[in-house]
Amino acid sequence: MAKQIFKKPQTMADKKLHYCPGCTHGIIHRLVAEAIDELDESESAIGVAPVGCAVLAYEYFNCDMQQAAHGRAPAVATGIKRVHPKNLVFTYQGDGDLASIGAAEIVHAAARGENISVIFVNNAIYGMTGGQMAPTTLIGQSSTTSQSGRETSVEGYPIQMSEMLATLDGASYISRQSVHNGANIQKTKKAIKKAFEMQMNEEGFSMVEVLSNCPTNWGISPKESVKWIEENMVPKYPLGDVKTPKEVE
C-alpha cells in the first residue's frame, strides 16, 4: 500500500488559497499551521487575521479566528489573550498593517510584553490595494505612490521593525526570516515554532518577521521575485534572530 509522506497540516483548512500565483503568503500560512500541529495546539489556537492580502486568513486556518480592522490585530489579540491566557494566540499581519496604520498597536503590545505571537509578513509593498508604498519599501523601489522610486528626501527611510521592537524590554523573541528558498523556509518554520513555544511557556511577546514577495505588484515573475528578496531585501533586512531571551540564546 502506498505510504503518504506529505499532506496538508491539520490546522490548514482544505480550501483553495486566493493568493496570486507565486506569492509566498501561502508558504507562510503552511508554516504557521505546521508549527501549530507540531505543538499540538490546534484546539487551543486563536488567530487574528489582518487587513491586507491575508484578510481571508480566517478561512484558511483550521482554528478559531477573529478578523481585525487594519492594523489593530495586536490589540484584538490582547483582548483575546486576557480572556484566554492559556490559549495560543497569534496575529498574521502585513507590513502596511503592522508598520504603518498599526504601528502604535504593535509597539505597545510588545512593550506590554503581551504574551502573544506575531507573524509579520514583510513584502515591502501594499499588496491588496494595488502596490502602494509601504513603510518597508526600499530606497529606490518604485511603487504606485512612489513611481520614480522611493526617495529619502521625499518619503523618508524604510523602517526595520524587528530591530525597533527588539529595543523594547517587553519583547522577548524577535526573529527575521525569509521564504525565498528551501533552506530559509525551514529556518522560518523553526523560528515560528520557537515563537509559539515561548508563548506557551509564558515568556512574553514574540514576533517573526518573514521576508515575502509580491510578484504581482513588484511587476516581476515569481522566479525573479525570490531572487529580488535575496538581492535587495536581505541586505536591508538581515536574517536571523534579532532578540532572544538569555535562557534560550
Ligand X SMILES: Cc1ncc(C[n+]2csc(CCOP(=O)(O)OP(=O)(O)O)c2C)c(N)n1
Binding site for ligand X (CB under 6 A): 51-54, 70, 94-97, 123, 125-129, 134
Report the distance separating Cα 139 and Cα 142, nearest Å: 9
- The dihedral through the CA atoms of 211, 73, 174, 139 has a sign that is positive
Binds 118: which of ligand SF4, another protein, ligand X, none (CB < 5-8 Å by kind): none
Binds 82: which of ligand SF4, ligand X, another protein, none (CB < 5-8 Å by kind): another protein
- Smallest separation (angstroms) from another protein to the CB of 106: 10
**Which residue do the cell numbers 510578484 mark?**
215
What are the backbone dihedrals phi and psi of residue 89, each rounded to the nearest 5 degrees, phi first? Answer: -115, 125
Query: Nearest 5 degrees, angle CA 245-CA 247-CA 249?
Result: 70
Give me the residues paired with residue 64 across strands: 46
Contact flags string 121-160 toward ligand SF4, x per CB under 6 A: --x---xx--------------------------------
Binds 105: which of ligand X, another protein, ligand SF4, none (CB < 5-8 Å by kind): another protein
Please report how the helices 103-111 and 73-83 are oriented relative to each other, as an axis angle in degrees rounded to 10.
40
- Smallest separation (angstroms) from ligand X to the CB of 49: 11
Q: Name the residue number minimizing CB distance to ligand X.
A: 94
Select the span of 16-24, 83-91, 96-104, 185-193 touching ligand SF4 (CB under 6 A): 16-24
Query: Nearest 5 degrees, angle CA 153-CA 143-CA 55?
Result: 120
DSSP letters spanning 105-136? HHHHHHHTT-S-EEEEEE-SS-TTTTS---TT
Interface positions with another protein (CB under 8 A) = 42-46, 48-49, 55-56, 58-59, 62-69, 72, 75-84, 87, 104-105, 107-108, 112
- Smallest separation (angstroms) from ligand X to the CB of 95: 4
Q: Which of 128, 124, 152 is nearest to 140 (CA)?
A: 152
Residues that bind ligand SF4 (CB under 6 A): 19-20, 23, 25, 53, 123, 127-128, 214-217
